[in-house]
Amino acid sequence: MNPTRTSAWTRLAEHATSHPPAALRELFAQDPQRACHFRQEACGILLDYSKNRISDTTLHLLFDLADACDLRSHTRAMFEGDAINSTEHRAVLHTALRTQGDVPVLVDGHDVLPAIREVRARTYAFAERVRSGDWKGFSGERITDVVNIGIGGSDLGPLMVCEALKPYADGPRMDFVSNVDSLHLVQTLKDLDPARTLFIVASKTFTTVETLTNARSARAWLVAAGGETAVARHFVAVSTNAAKVNDFGIDTANMFGFWDWVGGRYSLWSSIGLSIVLAIGPAGFDELLAGAAAMDQHFRTAPLAENLPVILALLGIWNVNFLGSASQVIAPYNQTLHRLPAFLQQLDMESNGKRVRADGEAVDYATGPVIWGEPGTNGQHAFFQLLHQGTAVIPVDFILALRQPGQIEAHRTSQIANCLAQSAALMQGKTAEEVRAEMQAKGIAAEEIEALIPHRTFPGNRPSNTLLLDELSPRSLGALLALYEHKVFVQGSIWGLNSFDQWGVELGKQLATGIEQRLAGASEPAYDASTEALLAYTRSK
Ligand code: F6P
């Protein structure tokens, strides 16, 4: 359905133009309780959304919009295994992978939980053998290094989680190779010993060119050292496609499966998380799942006004569709979360970067924004200039886990101070009068002051959310990731999208196949003049 046809949308549009909320500074001055009023807490995460340009009326209208777009029934349909990925006729059940109880989850009348538990038990048993040293390489040595070869969802999720939970890692060292540029693999292998290295070839489809190219070269590297028989001790696959795994030359006894109802960007909870299990152990992975399950439960049951994913999603809709923001920054203040922006980029942009609704109609409203970001402290010394004084208003999610094993207290206070300072600066800005008074107090000449005031003034009134985690543990990370998954789901539901397909990645793949044939000497297919000219140039080098 078209959300702009609902009366809630019309009222929101009218509210945004005829009763625009006052500047954030004034809103805080008018209501000293604003920070307590616009905050919610669940699953070890505090969401402070008081620095958004909203009032109670805005929120009520946004909740009306969620109701008008049938959010509750969409949510039920997802959790209950309906084929909501309509263009691929698939259920969307990453939530089943982390479900804690025994209530059956049915797909086509079959409970999927027994199969999930069977594969997970095999994954855990294998990981324990590797971690304990019982699983030996071709020369009888234990495995000390693991290389996950995958791309997109078969790379970003496990990589991001392994980085985030490094303080908990007590297994083999982990590397991730995704880029088809051979230097990624070559530089990774340079310091590794084939006799002690295990490769995980992670690919849902097992047809992804980048992954198979890297896997073939990795196999050749291993075989050069240990011979063909070494492959069985050093290569395992994670995939839904047993036939292709077999074709590639990996024994399906060394394959850990999952199912087509797990989207690639939602797959870290499945056996795609094998690298995570190897790094932090089964107990840590169980905690990750439990944190996500707690957020699932919160999302399913909490009233809209207390529901973290719903609130986060609706604020995004307000910013995108009614205040005109086209992008969203993710700024984590914990270094180990440094790949979170990249992970959320795929999660959000591959899900909601769509211009056609699930019903096939073209949208006439904005959908998913550009997601980008970096660890906050580093961003402050790079692109935050634009956030504070640029012409575009770009909402920011500040994310900070307050405790982490191994922290140095003196750094921690600076980390917290920086995070809080940035959202305060974006919100309050700095007026010309404040700049003038500050410069006068420093004894700067009046002429110099007046010349610099325009440059040193901050407009402020720039929205942000602050998400505080009590600690960065497997459990709280699980909850945080599920929070963002459901945020994306809520936004997709309101925009009427199918958030679970990704047809937009196909054309480039198709063209690359033909171009590779041309580079190999074929005369067909022919391309446009620009591509032909570039092809000719690359061939001349
Ligand atoms: O090209 C996009 C994509 O299909 C993603 O959706 C997916 O996560 C990634 O490629 C990797 O796919 P696979 O796991 O099948 O190799």
Name the residue of 502, 507, 511 whose CB sits within 8 Å of the most ligand 1 atoms, as the mutation to test its pocket.
502
Q: How is the beta sheet containing 145-149 ordered, strand by strand?
A: 173-177, 145-149, 197-202, 235-239, 255-257
User: Which residues are CB-neighbours of 502 under 8 A, at least 6 positions away?
Assistant: 264, 350, 351
Q: Residue 5 to residues 69, 72, 210, 368, 426: CA-CA distances in angstroms?
A: 10, 19, 43, 19, 34
Does 418 score more than 80 pLDDT? yes
Q: Judge if the beta carbon of residue 336 lies within 6 A of ligand 1.
A: no
Q: What's phi and psi for 327, nearest 5 deg?
A: -145, 165
Which pLDDT score is estimated for 21? 75
Q: Judge if the beta carbon of residue 486 lies within 6 A of ligand 1.
A: no
Q: Are 458 and 429 in contact (CB under 8 A)?
A: yes
Q: Judge if the beta carbon of residue 353 lies within 6 A of ligand 1.
A: no
Whole-number Å distance, alpha carbon 471 to ligand 1 midpoint, is: 31
Does 181 score more than 80 pLDDT? yes
Q: Judge if the beta carbon of residue 264 lies within 6 A of ligand 1.
A: yes
Alpha-carbon Rg for the chain in angstroms: 25
477-536 confidence digits (pLDDT tens): 999 999 999 999 999 999 999 999 999 999 999 999 999 999 999 999 999 999 999 999
Catalytic residue among 163, 210, 287, 350: 350
Catalytic residue among 89, 190, 381, 455: 381
pLDDT band at 304; cut points 50, 70, 90? very high
Active site residue 166: no
CA atoms of 203 and 205, how far apart (whole Å)? 5
Q: Judge if the beta carbon of residue 263 lies within 6 A of ligand 1.
A: no
Atom of ligand 1 nearest to the CA of 272: 14
Number of residues in the chain: 541
Which pLDDT score is estimated for 536? 96
pLDDT band at 285; cut points 50, 70, 90? very high
Closest residue by Cα to residue 188 from 155, 157, 230, 142: 155
Q: Judge if the beta carbon of residue 498 lies within 6 A of ligand 1.
A: no
User: Would the CA dihedral through 350, 351, 354, 359 be positive or negative?
Assistant: positive
Whole-number Å distance, alpha carbon 69 to ligand 1 midpoint, is: 30
Does 281 score more than 80 pLDDT? yes
Atom of ligand 1 nearest to the CA of 202: 14
Which pLDDT score is estimated for 195? 98
Active site residue 487: no
Which pLDDT score is estimated for 301? 97
182-189 vs 209-226: helix axis angle to the nearest 10? Answer: 30
Nearest CA to ligand 1 atom 1: 505
pLDDT band at 287; cut points 50, 70, 90? very high
SS3 141: coil
243-270 confidence digits (pLDDT tens): 999 999 999 999 999 999 999 999 999 9
Atom of ligand 1 nearest to the CA of 211: 16
Q: Judge if the beta carbon of residue 351 lies within 6 A of ligand 1.
A: no
Which pLDDT score is estimated for 45? 98
Strand partners, 31: none
CA atoms of 403 and 381, how far apart (whole Å)? 24
Active site residue 509: yes
Which pLDDT score is estimated for 20? 74
Q: Judge if the beta carbon of residue 271 lies within 6 A of ligand 1.
A: no
- Quote the percentage of the chain above a pLDDT of 70: 100
Atom of ligand 1 nearest to the CA of 210: 16
Burial class (CB in 10 A: 0-12, 13-18, 19+), 125: exposed
Closest residue by Cα to residue 341 from 285, 383, 279, 296: 383
Q: Judge if the beta carbon of residue 148 lies within 6 A of ligand 1.
A: no
Whole-number Å distance, alpha carbon 207 to ligand 1 midpoint, is: 9
Whole-number Å distance, alpha carbon 115 to ligand 1 midpoint, is: 23
Q: Judge if the beta carbon of residue 205 lies within 6 A of ligand 1.
A: yes
CA atoms of 401 and 477, how far apart (whole Å)? 9
DSSP for residue 348: I
Q: What's phi and psi for 132, nearest 5 deg?
A: -85, -15
Q: What is the pTM of this model?
A: 0.98
Q: Judge if the beta carbon of residue 204 lies within 6 A of ligand 1.
A: yes
Closest residue by Cα to residue 499 from 63, 75, 96: 75
Q: What's phi and psi for 236, nearest 5 deg?
A: -125, 160
Nearest CA to ligand 1 atom 11: 152
Whole-number Å distance, alpha carbon 250 to ligand 1 midpoint, is: 20
Which pLDDT score is estimated for 19? 78
Atom of ligand 1 nearest to the CA of 156: 8
- Quote the percentage of the chain above a pLDDT of 90: 99
Tell the residue number behind the tokens 């997709």, with chain if given.
492
Does 412 score more than 90 pLDDT? yes
Across 112-257, the runs of DSSP E, i.e. the strands, are 145-149, 173-177, 197-202, 235-239, 255-257
CA atoms of 353 and 369, how far apart (whole Å)? 7
209-242 confidence digits (pLDDT tens): 999 999 999 999 999 999 999 999 999 999 999 9
Which pLDDT score is estimated for 134? 98
Cis peptide leading into 525, omega within 30 of 0?
yes
Which pLDDT score is estimated for 9? 98
Q: What is the average per-residue pLDDT within 360-368?
A: 98
Whole-number Å distance, alpha carbon 384 to ligand 1 midpoint, is: 32
Computed over every residue of the chain, the mean pLDDT equals 97
Q: Judge if the beta carbon of residue 267 lies within 6 A of ligand 1.
A: no
Atom of ligand 1 nearest to the CA of 153: 8
pLDDT band at 22; cut points 50, 70, 90? confident
